[in-house]
Structure 1
C-alpha cells in the first residue's frame, strides 16, 4: 500500500477555492488549540468548517497532511525575511518574527506537537520534513546574503549561526520566563551572532 504523502492531490476539474482552503485550515488550527493533535479528526474539521469530508480529502489525503499544511501556511507568512541590507538587520527581523511566532497560539500548538513527536513517528517525520525544513530555508537565505556581502565567514556554520539566537529565545520562553524583547534580541545579534559570523 502506498505511503500517504504530505502534499495535496493534483488539482483537477474546477479550480480550487482558496478561501475554502483557508476556512478548512483555520478550523484545523482551532481544533488543535482546543483538543491537541490527537483530538483533531476529519469529522470535526468538516463540522467546524461546514465542509464535506469528501471536499477535505480531495485537498488533503490525511489528517497529518492537513495539520502540517495549516501550520506551514501560517509560519510562511510570519518567518519570511526580505533583504534588509545587512546581516544585523535581517537577523533582528528574523528573531523578532521567531519570538512573535513562538508566543502565538500557533506557536503553542507547535510546542505541543513537538512534545508528541517521541510517541508518534509519523508526526515526528512530518514536523521535521515540513516545519524544520521551512525554517532552515528562511534562515539559509539570510546566511547566503551575508556571505555575498562578506559579513559571514566561510568558517561559520550556518546552523549554529541561526541556533545561537533561537535556542536562547526558547530558553527564556520555555524555561526561565525572563522577558524576550527587542533589546534582548539585539544583544544576541550584536554580542553573539555577528562576532560568530565574522570568525576567521
Structure 2
C-alpha cells in the first residue's frame, strides 16, 4: 500500500482514536513500557501504518499530549476575581484527574525525551494555566490585583498543589473542596490590593 494512502487513513477520527489509545496505555503502564506495537494492539491498527505515521514512540506521545489541555473552556466573567476563580474551579473538565494520571505516566519522558518534555510544557503547563492567567490578567485590568503580583507564578499555584495532592497525598483522588480552599485562602489573599489607609 502506498505510504500516502496509509497516512491518509491515520487522519481525523482514526488518528484521534489511536492517540487516545496511547494515552490510555500511558495511564496503565507508563512511558517506559509503552511501545508502538502495544498501541497497535490496543487500537487494532496495523503496526506498519503506525510506524509510517510516527517515526518513534516520542513522536506518537508528543501528538497524544496535544489532546490533554482543556483549551475550549469558556471563562466566567462575574466582575469579581474570587467569583470568577470559584466558577472556573467548578467547570466540568477544568481539572481532569485522569489527565494528572497521564502526566504521572509521562514522568520519565520529561527527563529523557526533550521532544516530549516540550510538548508537556506547552500543552499541559502553558495551556493548563492559561485560564487562570487570563482571569488574573482581567482582574489586574479591573484594579483587583496589587501592581506587583507575579501572574505567571500565581497561575501555577492551583494546578501545582492539586497535582502534588493527587500524586503524593491522595493518589488518584482530589478533595472537591481543595480548589475552593486554595482560591479563598491562598490565591485571593496573595493578590488582593492592600486596603486604603484613612
| TM-score computed with the length of structure 1 as normaliser | 0.71
Counterpart in the other structure of 2:70:
76
Where do residues 162-173 of structure 1 align in structure 2 (5 Å cutoff)? 162-173=155-166
Match of 1:198 among 175, 192, 195: 192
Moved more, 91-100 or 39-48: 91-100
**Deviations for 1:89-132, whole angstroms, at most 9, x for unmatched residues?**
3323444568842x32x321211322553344444344224322
Q: Could you tell me whether the CA contact under 8 Å between 1:31 and 1:40 is conserved in 2? A: yes
1:151 aligns with 2:147: no
In structure 2, how many angstroms separate the alpha carbons of the residues matched to 1:24 and 1:38? 18
1:181 and 2:194 aligned: no
Establish whether residue 44 from structure 1 lines up as the match of residue 38 from structure 2: yes
Residue in structure 1 matched with residue 4 of structure 2 by the alignment: none
Give the number of aligned pairs: 185
Alignment partner of 1:118 is 2:114: no
Shift of 1:61: 4.7
Determine if contact 1:169/1:180 at 8 Å carries over to the other structure: yes
Q: Which residue of 1 aligns with 2:3?
A: none
RMSD of equivalent CA atoms:
3.3
Render the CA deviation track for 1:17-61: whole Å, top value 9, x for unaligned. 422122111211122123211222223222322233454456545
Contact 2:36 2:57 in 1 (8 A): yes
Contact 1:31–1:39 (CA under 8 A) maintained in structure 2: no
- The answer on 1:63 being equivalent to 2:18 is no
Pick from 104, 107, 115 the counterpart of residue 100 of structure 2.
107
Q: Does the Cα contact within 8 Å between 1:81 and 1:142 map onto a contact in 2?
A: no
Structure-2 separation of matches of 1:60 and 1:90: 41
Rg comparison, structure with higher value: 2
Structure 2 unaligned spans of 5+ = 1-6
Larger % of helix: which?
Answer: 1
